[in-house]
């Protein structure tokens, strides 16, 4: 199944690579409209948008949801496109901004955590490391299903210098990359429950968020560089690196983890507010205990 699946994905990706970029984007918006017409997570999207932007009118939300599905359809096609000469796509359509922040962090010799979100196209951002900046990247991710698809993705990423750190060997992959002074990519905008999550505010609502990045930053001293890859109106990608976030150590490990996790989640929220239509609103980001935090609390560790 793996070989048949990989061949099929490569053929689809090859066909998509032949399309002019303008036609590709038009096809992506069409796919997005089709996904919405079939009701793909439409209720989840509506609930998420209402929670994030309660001040918007019904008309404003409707226009926004339509646009966001167009971006989602384009993203799906671009992800399919990663199976055929994705490095060339990245080289052709990427515009780097403030890459000196990443270079300065790498120069410290401890490796670097690049923190991002499911915004724009994180696959483009990941591929920038080995293909434009000559630095291998290890992505922290979950195992994909079905197994043949995971293997196809793993093989395709490896061909362009991207490694995957998955359970049960996630930590080994991360520490190996840092030891080699490479980049480790973390996505910080998905719900995470106990025992590795903490409730910190996202759009004003305390919600479970992963604490692994904060824990590892405190443990290793590796800098955390925020970065995004967002689609510009002409279809090109803006790859924006930001100044490394200071890792706060307040003397208590649990509180330090909360402070840093809250800072990371606040940064992802700022990105979503800046480029709202390009975030993946189909995620069930708000779930679990959404009650207010105790007065004066930054957050609370989920146990």
Q: Look-up: residue for tokens 């480029």? A: 275
Phi and psi at residue 37, in whole multiples of 5°?
A: -60, -30
Domains with residue ranges and CATH for the chain: 2-301 (3.40.1130)
* The pLDDT value given to residue 222: 98
* The pLDDT value given to residue 200: 98
Strand partners, 224: 113, 245
Helices (H), the chain: 2-17, 21-37, 42-52, 58-81, 86-93, 100-106, 122-132, 147-159, 170-179, 212-220, 253-274
Q: Look-up: residue for tokens 């167009």? A: 70
Other beta carbons less than 10 A from residue 155's beta carbon? 12
Q: Would you write out the chain's pLDDT as a tens digit for each of its 303 residues?
A: 888 989 999 999 999 999 999 999 999 999 999 999 999 999 999 999 999 999 999 999 999 999 999 999 999 999 999 999 999 999 999 999 999 999 999 999 999 999 999 999 999 999 999 999 999 999 999 888 999 999 999 999 999 999 999 988 899 999 999 999 999 999 999 999 999 999 999 999 999 999 999 999 999 999 999 999 999 999 999 999 999 999 999 999 999 999 999 999 999 999 999 999 999 999 999 999 999 999 999 999 999
Task: Give the C-alpha separation, 179 to 91, whole Å.
Answer: 27
* The pLDDT value given to residue 1: 81
Judging by beta carbons within 10 Å of its beta carbon (0-12, 13-18, 19+), is residue 169 exposed, middle or buried?
Answer: exposed
* The pLDDT value given to residue 168: 85
């Amino acid at each position: 199944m793996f070989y048949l699946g990989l061949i099929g994905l490569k053929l689809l990706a090859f066909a998509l690579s032949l399309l002019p970029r303008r036609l590709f984007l038009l096809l992506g918006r069409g796919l997005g409209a089709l996904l919405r017409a079939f009701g793909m997570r439409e209720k989840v999207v509506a609930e998420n948008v209402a929670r994030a932007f309660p001040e918007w009118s019904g008309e404003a939300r409707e226009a926004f949801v339509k646009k966001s599905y167009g971006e989602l359809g384009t993203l799906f096609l671009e992800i399919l496109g990663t199976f055929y000469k994705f490095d060339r796509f990245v080289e052709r359509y990427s515009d780097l901004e403030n890459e000196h922040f990443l270079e300065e962090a790498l120069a410290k010799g401890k490796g670097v955590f690049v923190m991002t979100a499911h915004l724009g196209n994180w696959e483009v951002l990941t591929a920038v490391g080995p293909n434009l900046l000559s630095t291998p990247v290890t992505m922290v991710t979950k195992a994909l299903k079905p197994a043949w698809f995971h293997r196809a993705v793993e093989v395709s990423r490896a061909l362009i210098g991207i490694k995957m750190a998955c359970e049960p060997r996630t930590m080994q992959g991360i520490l190996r990359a840092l030891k080699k002074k490479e980049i480790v990519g973390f996505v910080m905008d998905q719900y995470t429950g106990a025992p590795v999550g903490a409730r910190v505010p996202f759009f004003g609502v305390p919600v479970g968020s992963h604490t692994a990045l904060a824990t590892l930053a405190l443990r290793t001293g590796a800098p955390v560089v925020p970065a995004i890859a967002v689609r510009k109106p002409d279809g090109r990608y803006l790859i924006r690196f930001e100044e490394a976030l200071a890792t706060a150590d307040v003397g208590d490990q649990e509180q330090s983890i909360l402070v840093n996790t809250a800072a990371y989640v606040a940064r992802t929220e700022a990105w979503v507010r800046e480029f709202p239509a390009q975030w993946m609103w189909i995620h069930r980001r708000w779930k679990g205990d959404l009650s207010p935090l105790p007065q004066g609390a930054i957050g609370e560790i989920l146990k």
